[in-house]
Structure 1
């Protein structure tokens, strides 16, 4: 089997300002960005330490870039770093 096909890719958005995400964020838009890791679920907006607790260390890790997000309600912006973490097919977690 092709090694690239045997790996699962997840993209994480890690908030560089370390601000907590508000609980009022609509979850429906993130439902398709969820991945099962053992008996746990990880999502695109999960923090790095949460993913590592659930899935362990990734096989590979790469910074893809940064993105600035804006919140018009509070007139503030936050910079986020976009990373791609790769886990093996049979990764424990």
Structure 2
């Protein structure tokens, strides 16, 4: 199997996650770095909120502190689920996955 054929097969798998830096919620847009309260006001309450634990982060002054990590799930919207990760109450990752 050629590399191109392998790449096409992998791209068509239904479990593939796609990352993005913005998410449209109705007529609003949320972006990486937005506070959780802003995301909730624009997108509404998620289907699930999962607490994933704590992560150590370095601030702009070089100090380390522990922040809570959560993943919110929205969807399905047009057959897609959106997974939003928050670290220290800030949106750090947006991923979409096609539902089965």
Q: Give TM-score scaled by structure 1 length.
A: 0.52
Aligned positions, number: 60
2:74 equivalent in structure 1: 87
Larger relative contact order (CA 8 Å, sep ≥ 6): 1
Structure 2: gaps spanning 5 or more residues: 1-13, 79-100
Structure 1: gaps spanning 5 or more residues: 10-31
SS at match of 2:41: helix
Of the three residues 49, 68, 74, the one matched with 2:37 is: 49
Q: Does 1:77 align with 2:75?
A: no
Aligned mates of 2:26, 2:57 — CA distance in 1: 31
Which structure has the bigger radius of gyration?
2
Q: Give TM-score scaled by structure 2 length.
A: 0.49
CA RMSD across the alignment: 2.4
Aligned mates of 1:44, 1:63 — CA distance in 2: 19
Aligned mates of 1:44, 1:79 — CA distance in 2: 20
1:33 equivalent in structure 2: 21
